[in-house]
A and B are shown apart, each in its own frame.
With several copies, the nearest count.
Chain A
Amino acid sequence: MIRLKAPVLENRELGPGLYSLWLAIEGLNEVQPGQFFEFRIRERFLRRALSIADQKGRNLRFVLKTVGSGTQWLAQVRVGEMLDLIGPCGQGVKIPDQGPVMLLGGGVGSAPLLYLARRLSEKGIKNDAVIAACTRNELILVEEFKEVCREVIVSTDDGSSGHKGLLTEVVRTLHQTTQAKVLYACGPEPMLAALKNIGLKQPVYAFLESRMGCGMGLCVGCAVKGRDSRYHRVCLEGPVFDLTEIEL
């Protein structure tokens, strides 16, 4: 984990409030899917966390959704601007030895799964993705997923594209679900909570969010409650947890 300055190579709007940033990162060791960077922003004192969404050589991609002044500031950075980041933070996902793997992305939560899909496909592990969103224009990265997944299933809550219904409902009906050895899910908390309750037999790993102080294990600000009723640090032990190990 290091602090670095990285120039913005591209900032593109993907949908309403959804932006894709490519940054050039120098002097960085390997990064893992699930890891994130802490971005210094104007307007707020603390950094903001964004997950690695993709990688091309030294360049890293981040996808963000504007939800407050921090992400709004990040959404307006211009090409050439230097961003101040710390990372990579958190534990990367342990890439499983065999597939098939199923990736479940809700909303902007699909972003970190793209990088996971890429790494899986590089290792020759079969993976299918369900990319879900409330509505059509909030679906992100579908074309990119198609490049690295065996199959990409799209679903929207309002049926404006792909399957109609909540991601969890769709997942239940898919034959890929039963085939998968392991599932990775990233999305809003209600989605993760629902996934817990649809009786999947396989391990499900969830990419969690939480309000973070430092992202580096210094402050214990990022607690998430474990099954053992203790708090775990999302930034240090996570952000990826076995879904059965945490309370949602």
Chain B
Amino acid sequence: MNVKLGKTTFRNPLVLASGTFGYGLTFPEVIEKVGALVTKGITVEERIGNPPPRIWDSAETVVNSVGLENVGLQRFQTEILPMIPTSTPVYVNLAGVDLGDFKSILQPLGQDQRIAGFELNLSCPNVKEGGAALGQSSRKVSEVTALARSLTVKPIWVKLTSNFCDVREISKAAADAGADAVVLVNTLNALVIDVEKRKPFLGAGSGGLSGPAVKPHVLYIVREISRIIDIPVIASGGVVSGLDVFEYLLAGARLVQLGSINLVDPGAALRILEELKDLFRREGVNSPTEIIGRLEDR
């Protein structure tokens, strides 16, 4: 199940997505089996997050507005980093409002041995500044990625949004600026309404849509972009089964993130891994590399 991305070899293509497995301090039996874990987004200062309610769901979707609640850089360094799992590569998801923020975080963390790499969150729909506002501009994505590139030799994944922008252009900008991979895509902007109150239901006013319903859309994006950029694509959107992972690999993803499904079942990654192995056996596939991007045309 090994898969290589740049110089790094992952034990399998499954990655636990940011915001859906905390800082990786629980469920070690799951973490040690996946390819990598991405932490909840870290910001320079501690953030208390958005007012509740923060979550809503339907049969096939989740809308969340957690809003980057996190302990901040300092406590992350002192309290979290010493406890971070060593059984699996940990990528730290970083969020910020401007270049200065990313600099403040990457200067201290850029060479930290305990961190496998970074995921630049230029796509969070749940913060007023930064987040998706950065990720909707090729220029800003380029600047932040280049800055990060100058501050660390570790792999840099750039997590993008498809909302209100041409994610094809943005992906190219990230690739050109030295990203090792793009992660496609963060949650879609979403509004849930409380009709009785005539107000948004979520405390933050709006949130981000994820879950199985978004998979066909994100599959499309992954295929499009994996065809036009030279760096690997990491998929994130709606995975709940081994079949979904297989589909993303065919569509061109090199790694595949599991997000919302972790909330329903923290052991989902183990089940999905078994399903993927079964599928590989049934389809006569020996390694993910054999099928990555091998979706034929109609």
Contact = CB atoms under 8 A, between A and B. Distances in A.
Do chains A and B make direct contact within the complex (CB under 8 angstroms)? yes
Interface of A: 3, 40, 42-47, 86, 210-214, 216-225, 229-231
Interface string B219-255: 0000000000000000000000000000000000000
24 contacts: A42-B59, A43-B59, A44-B58, A45-B61, A45-B212, A45-B264, A46-B55, A46-B263, A46-B264, A47-B264, A210-B53, A211-B55, A212-B55, A213-B64, A216-B26, A216-B266, A217-B22, A218-B20, A219-B55, A220-B19, A221-B66, A222-B54, A223-B54, A225-B52
A211 B53 contact: yes
Given A44-B58, A210-B53, A211-B54, A220 B66 contact: yes
Given A46-B57, A46-B62, A213-B64, A219 B264 contact: no
A230 B48 contact: yes
A210 B52 CA distance: 8
Contacts of B266: 86, 214, 216, 218
Contact of A45 (B62, B262, B267): B62
Contact of A219 (B19, B59, B211, B212): B19
Contacts of A221: 54-55, 64, 66, 263
A225 B69 CA distance: 13
A221 B69 CA distance: 10
Query: In the complex, which range does the number of interface residues on chain B fall in?
Result: 20 to 34
Nearest to B22: A218
Contacts of B43: none
A219 B57 CA distance: 14
A216 B26 CA distance: 9
Given A40-B264, A220-B40, A220-B69, A211 B60 contact: no
A219 B64 contact: yes
Interface in B46-105: 48-62, 64, 66, 69
Given A45-B60, A46-B57, A219 B20 contact: yes
Contacts of B59: 42-45
B66 A219 contact: yes
Nearest to A215: B263
Given A45-B211, A45-B264, A212-B55, A220 B62 contact: no
B283 interface: no
Contacts of A42: 59
Nearest to B40: A220
Given A218-B21, A218-B266, A221-B66, A211 B56 contact: yes
B22 A213 contact: no
Given A220-B19, A221-B64, 6 more contacts: A44-B58, A44-B59, A213-B64, A216-B26, A216-B266, A220-B66
B265 interface: yes
A44 B57 contact: yes
Contacts of B48: 229-231
A223 B67 CA distance: 11
A44 to B, nearest CB: 5
Nearest to B202: A211
Contacts of A211: 52-56
B260 interface: yes
Contacts of B64: 213, 219, 221
Contacts of B26: 216-218
A127 to B, nearest CB: 31
B93 to A, nearest CB: 13
Nearest to B262: A218
Contacts of B262: 214, 218
Contacts of B263: 46-47, 213-214, 218-219, 221
A175 B293 CA distance: 53
B2 to A, nearest CB: 27
B81 to A, nearest CB: 19
